[in-house]
Amino acid sequence: MTGAGRGLGAVRAEWTKLRTLHSTWWLLLALIALTVLAGAASTASLTASDCPVPADCHEDTVKLSLTGVWLGQGAVVVLAVLTMSGEYGTGTIRTTLTTEPLRLRILAAKAAVLCALTATASTVGVLGSLLAGRLLLSADGFAAPTLAEGPTLRAAAGTVLYLTLTALIGLGAATALRDTATAVTSVLALFYAFPLLAGLLADPDWQENARRAAPATAGLAIQATIDLDRLPIGPWAGIAVLAGYAVAALVTGGVLLRVRDA
């Protein structure tokens, strides 16, 4: 069999593993539900008392509609970690490595399937959030987000990319750490605790640099559609920072996967 054939076979094998696990579909549903519901709750909190003249309200309604990503990313992390650590927990990783000796091909196949599932569910969640935001904001007289506008389209596509890169970070961490609890805790701390710690720094310059380096703060800059000059980092530069974390996690995981025993 050619290398391409083996690669497709590895992808099919990983797809079969993930789709037959109930946890996969529950976590994808959680990603969609948390993203939409939390975003709708945040959007609904914007009332006339906050902006007496809704048409002149200087609120980033697109970013507000996509607030639920803060919760949805947690489901992505758990799914990504289980994609690899689940096999170490059950011991089936030995069978996987025996069937496919080229370990990096296994990691690449898992990454491909994980990215496809995450991107699909994220797209549903993002579009659902923007639709909910549009309905809620229009009802109160606020300017509603529409994908016909360039900044809104960039924020929507960028958010899907953000969640997909988050999944790759989780996969890389799980490959390196092997243990589900350790990997999930480490990645969630990186996304949730890092920004909080950055905000506690006393020196404004250090605080600004930490916010640029924090994966969540940097990556979610892609959602901003107004006041871009006030961001600690630009939208696409922030995604580049997040991509750097994903590459580092996958490279580290890939190296350790090759050199360690199963």
Q: What percent of the chain has pLDDT over 70?
A: 92
In this predicted structure, the answer to whether residue 144 has a pLDDT above a threshold of 80 is no
pLDDT average, residue stretch 125-132:
95
Contact call for residues 215 and 245 (beta carbons, < 8 A): yes
Question: Does the structure show a pLDDT above 90 at 98?
Answer: no
Side-chain-facing half-sphere of 219: CA atoms under 13 Å:
26
Predicted pLDDT of residue 260: 85
Task: Confirm if 44 and 136 have CB atoms less than 8 A apart.
Answer: yes
Q: What is the pTM of this model?
A: 0.92
DSSP H helix total and E strand total for the chain: 12, 0
Q: Which pLDDT score, from 0 to 100, does residue 44 have?
A: 85
Question: Residue 161: what pLDDT?
Answer: 98
Residue 123: partners with Cβ closer than 8 Å, 6 or more residues away: 160
- Show Cβ contacts of residue 238 under 8 Å, excluding neighbours closer than 6 positions: 212, 217, 218, 219, 220, 221, 222, 231
| Average pLDDT for 13-24 | 92
**CA–centroid distance for 209 within its chain:** 22
